[in-house]
Amino acid sequence: MPKQSPIPDELDKPFYDACNEERLVIQYCTSCRRYQFPPRPGCTRCGNNASVQWRQLSGRGRIVSRVVVHDTPTSSLIPEQPFNVAAIALDEEPDIIMLSHLPGTPVDQVPIGAAVEVIFETTPATGQKVPEWRVAG
Ligand SMILES: [Zn+2]
């Protein structure tokens, strides 16, 4: 499914640079010992900027919910309708959710609870890679 190319800014550039190397990284606060996503200038819990660092994840998660989109306002996605939007809970921090179209999984056949693994798709406009997820195994 063709995706729009994100334009990285100062805050999320480490995330997108890692995507281009096919690595999934998110912020981790060493004071609170917790991950956070999307990126913020500092820890959203303790407010400390210096304790936030980027950490690489396993790229594994589980499907916790899903919807099927039949009527998107995004013109580039209209030819792909209907399509999946699944919520992926990360193995390292299940409170953090990333969204996926689950390429390769037909609509209405999304296995809730199934393990998924990250892949990286190249967006056509700029070549920026973005994370996507597929059912593992
Ligand atoms: Zn913190």
The reported pLDDT for the residue numbered 94 is 96
Query: How is the chain split into domains, by residue range?
Result: 13-135
Name the average pLDDT for the chain: 95
Q: In this model, does residue 115 exceed pLDDT 80?
A: yes
Residue in the structure block whose two tokens are 């499914």: 1
- The closest of 52, 48, 54, 47 to 16, measured between CA atoms, is 54
pLDDT of 35-79, one tens digit each?
A: 999 999 999 999 999 999 999 999 999 999 999 999 999 888 899
Q: What is the mean pLDDT of residues 92-98?
A: 96
Going from the Cα of 35 to the center of ligand 1, the distance in angstroms, rounded, reads 9
Phi-psi region of 118 (alpha: psi -120 to 50; beta: other; left: phi over 0): beta
Q: What's the mean pLDDT in 83-96?
A: 97
CA 31–ligand 1 middle distance (angstroms): 5
The three-point CA angle 17-86-61 to 5° equals 60
Identify the H or E element spanning 51. Answer: none
Q: First and final CA of the chain: distance in angstroms?
A: 21
How many whole angstroms from 50 Cα to the centroid of ligand 1?
9
Nearest to 15 by CA among 114, 102, 131: 131
The DSSP secondary-structure symbol of 50 reads: T
- Rounded to two decimals, the pTM is 0.92
Q: Is the pLDDT of residue 137 over 90?
A: no
Of 9, 12, 46, nearest to 27 by C-alpha is: 12
Report how far residue 15's alpha carbon sits from residue 111's, in angstroms, rounded to the nearest whole number. Answer: 28
Q: What is the pLDDT of residue 102?
A: 96
